Amino acid sequence: MKEIFFSNLPAGIAVICLCLYFFGMAVVFISSPLKNAEKFAIKPVDNAGKTEIRVYYGGISFALGAFLLYLTLALGTPVYSLAGGLFFATTVLVTRTIFLCVDKGWKCPYTKLAIPAESAFVVALWVCYFLSK
């Protein structure tokens, strides 16, 4: 497994970071959904909402991390997983930026953290992608 990730160092490092990010998000939202959702300006209206936070923020994050890991191992290279992570991360950043304008959410505390952090992450992933070529 080590050989696969280090066969293309920039892609391997990026995929390891992506998997750690997704697995970390899964643990955070499955183990403590209400506390962590509040940091993202999300408040469920009832217990079903709490379950949705666990499912969509926790479960899907775990599935994305697991899929990127599987894809890397199945194909014997991290490059395709990096491309998949780029689709995801870039889409989230672009969508967030567009709808912050539409919803006028620029002044919210979460936004002030999310935009710079996501932008740096996406730029780093793109750098790794171009270095992997």
The tokens for 36 are: 């962590």
Tell me what the mean pLDDT of segment 13-30 comes to: 97
| DSSP character string of 84-114 | HHHHHHHHHHHHHHHHHHHHT-TTSHHHHHH
**pLDDT given at position 75:** 97
The Cα–Cα gap between 98 and 32 comes to 29
Confidence tier at 112 by pLDDT (50, 70, 90)? confident
Position 1 pLDDT exceeds 90: no
Tell me the C-alpha distance between 71 and 43, whole Å.
34
Instruction: Work out whether the CA dihedral 40, 49, 92, 69 comes out positive or negative.
Output: positive
End-to-end Cα distance, the chain: 21
Q: 16-20, 36-40, 115-119: which has the minimum mean pLDDT?
A: 36-40
pLDDT of 46-100, one tens digit each?
999 999 999 999 999 999 999 999 999 999 999 999 999 999 999 999 999 999 9
Rg of the chain taking only CA atoms, in angstroms:
16
The pLDDT value recorded for residue 121 is 96
The domain tally of the chain equals 1
pLDDT at 107: 84
Domain that holds residue 71: 2-131
Instruction: Please answer whether residues 93 and 118 qualify as being in contact, where contact means their C-beta atoms are separated by less than 8 angstroms.
Output: yes
